[in-house]
Amino acid sequence: MMGLRLHLCFLALFSTLSISAHGLGPLCLPEEHVALFIFGDSLFDAGNNNYINTITDYQANYEPYGENFFKYSTGRFFDGRIIPDFIAEFANLPFITPYLHPGYHRYTDGVNFASAGAGALAETHQGTVIDLKSQLNNFKNLESLLSKELGDAEAKKLLFRAVYIISVGSNDYAVPFTRNSSIFQSYTPEEYVDMVISNLTFVIEEIYKKGGRKFGFPNLSPLGCLPLARALIPGNTGACKQELTALAILHNKALSEVLQKL
């Protein structure tokens, strides 16, 4: 069985991570301050989909979501905290605010751009989620805001020191099966995975151009064993959909290889 593994990609040499939380006010951030920027899908979405025109399937702003920790639904697709919440806590940061949350943001602590249902491919749940490249555009808009608020030099330092975590791919591989798509009549599994990885690589390179050097990527889980995938098996036998898990395995292998090249 394929376990969850986190790829950590350091594109430059850094000293030990030490983080303190500050608001947007100071024009000169402490040298040890590091922000957390979050991209991806429902594993990482902290509530961005609360603020877009979408369907209920891609929102988690109702019970029973959140009942065991927050005691109310926040937009997280869990009954408690999500992975980025635990990372933020470990780094002595507050929970990172969704980019689309109205009102004041503590941008210097980081921003969450993730959107439940999103994929690396724009076609994945198109029109109902914020795909990865659109999340990248939101990040670039934030860069402009940081430059105005902090000045170019401090904004560049913030982006250079920051940690960037990205969880994406599950929806890209699940959609062709849930919608009875004929996509695999046009592409081999390897070619389809290459398209997903190519889009992810583009986003990594664009963040790198803006100063990003520390990246984290979780492996995909055995997708064919998720409840939704099991339900696709005729006869409701409870068996795993092996074709979907095979795509996740191909993705994880390709992701590891491309990160080494980067």
Kindly indicate whether the domain formed by 6-14+28-261 is annotated with CATH number 3.40.50. Answer: yes
Number of other CB atoms surrounding residue 106 within 10 Å: 17
Is the pLDDT at 15 greater than 80? The verdict is: no
Residue 171 is predicted with a pLDDT of: 96
Question: Token pair for residue 158?
Answer: 């913030």
C-alpha to C-alpha distance for 219 and 217, rounded to whole angstroms = 7
Whole-prediction pTM: 0.88
Asked if the model's pLDDT at residue 214 lies above 80, the reply is yes
Q: Measured at the alpha carbon of residue 79, what is the angle toward residues 76 and 81, in degrees to the nearest 5?
A: 60
Mean pLDDT of 35-50: 96
Query: What is the overall mean pLDDT for the chain?
Result: 88
Q: Identify the pLDDT of residue 179.
A: 80
